[in-house]
Structure 1
Amino acid sequence: MEPFIVSARKYRPQTFKDVVGQQAITNTLTNAIDNDHLAQALLFTGPRGVGKTTCARILAKQINQDGRTDQEEDFAFNIFELDAASNNSVDDIRELTSQVRIPPQVGKYKVYIIDEVHMLSQAAFNAFLKTLEEPPAHAIFILATTEKHKIIPTILSRCQIFDFKRITVKDAAEYLKYIAENQEIEAEDDALHIIAQKADGAMRDALSIFDRVVSYSGKKLTRKAVTENLNVLDYDTYFAATDLILKHDIPGLLILFNETLARGFDGHHFISGLASHFRDLMVCLHPNTIALLEVGEEAKKHYSEQSKKTSSSFLLSAIDLANDCDINYKSSKNQRLLVELTLMKLASIDFDGEKKKSESLGNGRNKPDFIIPASFYKVSRPTTEVKETKVNESQAKTGHTEVPTTQSVVEEEHTSQNQASPVHTSTQTHKSDGNEYVNVAQESNPAPRAKINLKTTERRVSGLSLSSLKAKKEHQQNKKEDVIDESNLPKANFTEEEMQKHWADFVDILDNDGRKILASNLHSDVPKLTDNFTIWIELPNGTMKKEIEREKYDLMEYLKLKLNNHFIQLRITVNEATAKKFAFTPEEKYMKLREKNPAIDLLRKEFDLDI
């Protein structure tokens, strides 16, 4: 029995053509070899399992080959591999530099491959600098690392850097399909795509997962077997969850989530996968973005079919909700409740959207439909007596009834004849979420309707209600924005003393009215009169300036009236240096008092008082 060789070793590329997903780098190295334009120090950097060491071995083999050499020769004696993770001392680097001086016995170059070069110590890097900058003509250094940022800049500046990228899902799936055909394994495209997605851009990981799944399922590789072996959530789970969301089936959605938890998956995995599923559905809405969907052909059909049941607005809201849950999951103390609440919100997106839309259309002549429980009509109201009206058989069949509305109540109170314009409504009963609802559509109808006797109590409006506050604000704006003819306004001259007197009077008025903060701000500086009837004050900070500017209307109206000049203006500047004149802390207040009366210091010392 032949020993088993893992696919990562068995199918390691032997030429640059066999390297997967790094065509730009392999073409560059091939052209450099053909044109004899190869640097003596190369740095291969990138994620794990993308082909850095493989490309280094292929390069070391090809630079020693020529037309007269056997193509099967691997030049093992010309290639020296050093693991910097375990050989990272200065002595290891010194031994390496001593070997570099010896020319190769076979071939043209000696190639030194240093893997995980970022693990070298600072002293080892410094010992390696001179040799790396001026190596012998027969020596080429290839450094490989996954963490380029840990390499000192002096090493980076001496190397030609090649950045390896992650293997795409498409490239990895195609290479896995080639290996499956080579091993006579029947594999579904969706199964190979799941393996490629699980590998996360690393070809070595994809081959390891492939070997593991083949050992589990044998010669037939199915999507179900892959998901079971890798313990990943299948597409079907998210398709079923989305169908339940679109049907507003909250109980079924919670049951599906509970079954997912029972299979060993956590809520974070479920909600993050659901967000990705909504993203894939969004991608399917436009034909130009379908290429961004990294799934098999069979899965693409399912995504395309389900995307037709959704809209871009629904998917945007769903992605936003799922993403918020993903962000807040780790910080939540009740993580399961967080996910369940998000699922309930997802199942209510369309209903909320229709409700908001109907409210925004409520300004038309014919009011839109709205939904109220059927039990609403069975509840008696103590403050309103409604006279019963008979409904004939034709009305019962068509569903048209007359329902008293709030509009009729208001008109009943304000008309002397106790009559209101008729409002007819059409009702339809339906069931949703276990409750019975009635859709009521209001329509204006000139036909007379039965009189309704109402007994209502006097309605009182609170002074803090939104309507009263809004009316007060509009009144103040209208008062301030009145258009005034400036041609007949007074423009009398006045002195600075007169202005300061009326200024002080206004401050006293504010103080007596309890507006202490504004009075203190206005009293913080003595106003000065400048050109063109401009009053100038200087404040210690911007907060006081904003407070005065917000309340300056009453001040200016008072001064214009007292000084008989409508063209007075107020100029406010900020000078933080003036803040030193004011005492804010207890220490500053004590220093001010001591300046006025030095005896207070003696009092403090005599009684040993604290500040």
Structure 2
Amino acid sequence: MTALALARSWRPKTFSQLVGQDHVVKALTHALDQGRLHHAWLFTGTRGVGKTTIARIMAKALNCTGEDGQGRMTSEPCGKCPACLEIDAGRFVDYIEMDAASNRGVDDIAALLEKAAYAPSNARYKVYMIDEVHMLTNHAFNAMLKTLEEPPEHVKFILATTDPQKIPVTILSRCLQFNLKQMPVPLIVEHLEKVLAAEKVDCETNALRVLAKAAQGSMRDALSLTDQAIAYAAGKVTEEAVRGMLGTLDDAYLIKILDALIAKDGATLLAISNEMGERSMSFSLALADLSSLIQKIAAAQIVPESVLEDWPEAAEIHRLASALTKEEAQLFYQISITSRPDLSLAPDEQTGFAMTLLRMLAFRPGNETPSRAGGNSSNSNSSSNSAPPVASVTSAPRSPRPANQTAAPVRSAPPAPAAVVAPAKPAASAPIASSADRPDWHTLVRQLPIKGLVQQLAFQTELQDWEDSPAGVRATVVTPMPQLASEASINRLADSLTAYFGKPVKVVIEKGEVEGKTVAKVDAQIHQEKRLNAEQLIAQDPFIQQLQKEFGAKVVGGSVKPI
């Protein structure tokens, strides 16, 4: 006779044997002990966390009669009375499990509800358990609404689903909803240790930790993977055997990858990728494990006590946390998680993984003096204080124009370093001179590296005054659209002018009509001329004229756009 799978032989039979769902167990046991029972429960959660198991325990608790046959409803079913034994064996006539994925129509629900009207055969309650209830059709949901709200006294409904968002609100409002949690890795490891000890199978704790991570919060998946690992190892369940079975990456590989990135050793990175390909490892899981390790490193840089000393990789995490900058750790993490979906687009997964490692090697944070974990905080502060100055912005009234102005508060700053000037040109050639040493405003704003609202503000202004002094420049501009002149936009425009000229620039924005043409008006006029020229060329095109003559075709007005 073949052995029963661990997931079945170790299915909990009582509430006390349930693992990781204490919040649900507490509510249900109190309700059973106090006799305050609802008529419908909804259990939600991912696969393998105990939804069906809790439903069976509830059915036993509701119908348990004790070993002497005189017992009452209890939160601790005996497991020896006929009801408990038959429910565990799956042949209790008054406990009905229905799979809504294969019985999802209104006829199936109608047949079930018709039988609900009859009293139980030899039980206290007739319990209906509908699994994956979100798969029912809308008509089926509507058919069960009334019965679910006011069922017969002898009927209890238990619904289970992995996707509660697909269940109508009318159904949710008629049930007590319990959200079953995913199992944390330490809890799964602890349970697997108990199971393997009872099964007399030797194992390594790190091997169980790898299985728990692969289960992704599902205890059933963890037990199934453990079954597979026992068969694969044919003896002691070791970390090496489990990683070989799952195709996951050893932590030693991950540490080698990060060491090669720190050393900027591209040859080693490619060699590691080739070795992984030869061993048929999963590159998607490798990126997942790499991102998990980098997250621990980033956490160690910010919160050193987050690294538990009982972790096997604790010493390496501390070492890498001091070797990597905080910016590099964040960048590597971002590249690793965003590259996983791209593996399916690569010629093959190994190529995609190798490109991910090369991308980490090629890109570096932009700061010239990045802060390292554990580094001198004063040095970090001094480097941040030497950033490019922000231009001062003030407001002042102009006599010829209205006095309402929009401007940012005054901010003094030292001259910008030459290394951060936006245009790579000397300051002497930056201004485009016109009369009285004033720059050509139209040409100047087109050359500034500004976009969005700041560019719109600059394009809707006209230069009125330009006061150049050794201390800096005061530029007074007027705009008919003051709604564009927010404090942030003025500051960014002033910053761009400061970087362009290499000295502080104060920008004063005044409301009023411009005397000449703004850049926006010039651009609009140029676009209008191009459109008219395009329409004229279309009208003169022989092919268009032939279409108009033979078929009575017409050119839709406004549809012609210049290229």
> Shorter-chain TM-score: what band?
0.5 to 0.7
Counterpart of 1:117 (choices 127, 130, 133) is: 133
Q: CA distance change for structure 1 residues 323 and 479 in 2, over 3 Å: closer, same or farther?
A: farther
3-state SS of the aligned residue for 2:512?
Answer: strand
List per-residue Cα deviations over 1:135-188 (Å, max 9, x = no partner): 011111001111212222221221111111211111111111110100111111
Secondary structure of the corresponding residue to residue 129 of structure 2: strand
Partner Cα distance (1:14, 1:100) in 2: 26
| Distance in structure 1 (CA, Å) of the matches to 2:347 and 2:514 | 51
What is the CA–CA distance in structure 2 between the aligned matches of 1:297 and 1:134, rounded to whole Å?
Answer: 53
Structural mapping, 1:420-435, within 5 Å: none
1:249 corresponds in structure 2 to 265
Q: CA deviation at 1:335?
A: 7.2
What does residue 54 of structure 2 align with? 55
Cα distance between partner residues in 2 of 1:465 and 1:56:
70
Give the superposition deviation at 1:277.
2.0
Decide which of 391, 414, 430 is 1:472's aligned counterpart: 430
Work out whether residues 314 and 349 of structure 1, in 8 Å CA contact, stay in contact via their aligned partners in 2: no
Letter in 2 for 1:466: A
Following superposition of structure 1 onto structure 2, how do residues 287-298 of structure 1 map, counting pairs within 5 Å?
287-290=304-307, 297-298=311-312
- Among 91, 112, 125, which residue is 1:96 paired with? 112
State the alpha-carbon separation in 1 of the partners of residues 365 and 166 from structure 2: 53
How far did 1:332 drift?
5.5
Query: Higher RCO, 1 or 2 (CA under 8 Å, sep at least 6)?
Result: 2
Kept after mapping to 1: 8 A contact 2:462/2:514 = no
Query: Which piece of structure 1 moves more, 103-112 or 57-66?
Result: 103-112
Query: Which one-letter code corresponds to 1:26 in the other structure?
Result: V
Match of 1:312 in 2: 326
1:133 and 1:158 in contact (8 A); partners too: yes
Partners of 1:472 and 1:302 lie apart in 2 by 52
| More deviation, 338-347/257-266 | 338-347
Partner Cα separation in structure 1 for residue 455 and residue 335 of structure 2: 39
Q: 1:471 to 1:543 in 2, by over 3 A?
A: closer
Match in the other structure for 2:249: 233
CA contact (8 A) 2:273 2:350 kept: no
Separation in 2, partners of 1:465, 1:97: 77
SS in 2 for 1:39: coil
Cα deviation per residue 1:164-223 (whole Å; 9 max; x = unaligned)? 121111111111111010011111111001111111111111111100110121331110
1:263 paired residue among 267, 279, 284:
279
Q: 1:569 to 1:5 in 2, by over 3 A?
A: closer
RMSD of aligned Cα (Å): 4.5
The equivalent residue for 1:132 is: 148
Note the 1:477-516 alignment, pairs <5 A.
Answer: none
* Match of residue 549 from structure 1: 461
Match of 1:158 among 143, 150, 174: 174
Say whether residues 1:210 and 2:200 are aligned partners: no
Q: Which residue number corresponds to residue 487 of structure 2? A: none
Give the residue type in structure 2 aligned to 1:59: M
SS in 2 for 1:237: helix
Cα deviation 1:91-133 (Å, max 9, x = unaligned): 3222222221222344422111111212222222222111111
* Deviation per residue, 1:432-467 (Å, 9 max, x gap): xxxxxxxxxxxxxxxxxxxxxxxxxxxxxxxx9833
Partner-residue secondary structure (3-state), 1:103: coil
Letter of the 1:79 counterpart? Y
Alpha carbons of structure 1 residues 355 and 79: separation in structure 2 relative to 1, 3 Å? closer
Structure label with greater radius of gyration: 1
Determine the structure 1 residue equivalent to 2:494. none
Q: Which residue of 2 aligns with 1:376?
A: none
Q: Secondary structure at the match of 2:38?
A: coil
Is the 8 Å Cα contact of residues 88 and 124 (structure 1) preserved in structure 2? yes
Give the Cα–Cα distance (whole angstroms) in 1 for the partners of residues 137 and 365 of structure 2. Answer: 63
CA shift, 1:236, in A, is: 1.8
Q: Deviation digits for residues 553-584 of structure 1, max 9, x if unmatched?
A: 59x99x9xxxxxxxx9833699xxxx9xx988
Change (3 A) 1:9 1:335: closer
Verify the 8 A CA contact 1:80 1:112 in the aligned structure 2: yes
> Residue 82 of structure 1: SS of its match in structure 2?
strand
Change (3 A) 1:232 1:90: same
**CA displacement, residues 237-275 of structure 1 (integer Å, 9 cap, x when unaligned):** 112222333333332222111111222236554444322
Could you tell me how far 1:5 is from its partner in structure 2?
A: 0.3
Q: 1:183 to 1:302 in 2, by over 3 A?
A: farther
One-letter identity of the residue aligned with 1:288: E
Q: Partner of 1:49: helix, strand, or coil?
A: coil
Using the TM superposition, give the Cα deviation of residue 475 of structure 1 relative to its aligned residue in structure 2, in angstroms. Answer: 8.1
CA distance in 1, matches of 2:428, 2:225: 66
**Alignment-derived partner of residue 173 in structure 1:** 189
CA distance in 2, matches of 1:351, 1:89: 57
- Letter of the structure 2 residue corresponding to residue 158 of structure 1: R
Q: Which runs of 5+ in 2 are unaligned?
A: 72-76, 372-378, 383-421, 447-453, 467-474, 479-509, 519-523, 537-547, 556-563
1:118 aligned partner, one-letter code: H
Residues 260, 89 of structure 1: CA spacing in aligned structure 2 closer, same or farther, 3 A cutoff? same
Conservation of the 8 A alpha-carbon contact between 1:47 and 1:202:
yes
Q: Counterpart amino acid of 2:238?
A: T
Q: CA deviation at 1:353?
A: 7.2
Is the CA contact (8 Å cut-off) linking 1:190 and 1:299 kept in structure 2? no
* One of 190, 213, 222 as aligned partner of 1:197: 213
Higher mean Cα deviation, 259-268 or 10-19?
Answer: 259-268
Q: CA deviation at 1:3?
A: 2.9
Name the structure 1 match of 2:28: 29
Alignment pair present for 1:571 and 2:509: no
Question: For 1:453-503, what per-residue CA distance to the aligned partner results, in whole angstroms no more than 9, with x for missing partners?
Answer: xxxxxxxxxxx9833466534989x9679xxxxxxxxxxxxxxxxxxxxxx
Aligned to 2:43: 44
Does structure 1 residue 279 correspond to structure 2 residue 295?
yes
2:160 is the counterpart of 1:141? no
Matches of 1:14 and 1:87 in 2, distance apart?
A: 27
Match of 1:499 in 2: none
Name the SS of the counterpart of 1:236 in structure 2.
helix
Aligned partners of 1:3 and 1:58: how far apart in 2? 26
The residue number in structure 2 matching 1:440 is: none
Q: What is the total number of aligned residue pairs between the two structures?
A: 418
2-structure distance, mates of 1:192, 1:301:
21
Q: Which residue among 174, 189, 198 is the counterpart of 1:182? A: 198
Shift of 1:233: 1.5
User: 2:327 touches 2:365 (CA, 8 Å); kept in 1?
Assistant: no
Q: Which residue of 2 aligns with 1:83?
A: 99
Deviations 1:274-295 (Å, cap 9, x if unpaired)?
222211222344343226x9xx
Q: Give how far 1:330 is off.
A: 4.7
Counterpart contact for 2:126–2:155, Cα < 8 Å: yes
CA separation of 1:275/1:470 partners in 2, compared to 1, >3 Å: closer, same or farther?
farther
SS at match of 2:312: helix
CA distance, structure 2, for counterparts of residue 115 and residue 354 of structure 1: 58
The offset of 1:586, in angstroms, is 5.8
Partner amino acid, structure 2, of 1:211: D
Q: Go from structure 1 to structure 2 and tell me whether the alpha carbon gap of 1:40 and 1:338 turns closer, same or farther (over 3 Å shift).
A: closer
The answer to whether 1:8 aligns with 2:7 is yes
- Residue identity (%): 30
Partner SS state of residue 112, structure 1: strand
Tell me if structure 1 keeps the 8 A contact 2:149–2:174. yes
Aligned residues of 1:169 and 1:201 also touching (Cα < 8 A)? yes
Counterpart CA distance in 2 for 1:62 and 1:569 is 79
Matches of 2:28 and 2:100 in 1, distance apart? 24
Q: How many Å separate the matches in 2 of 1:182 and 1:189?
A: 15
Q: Which amino acid aligns with 2:461?
A: E
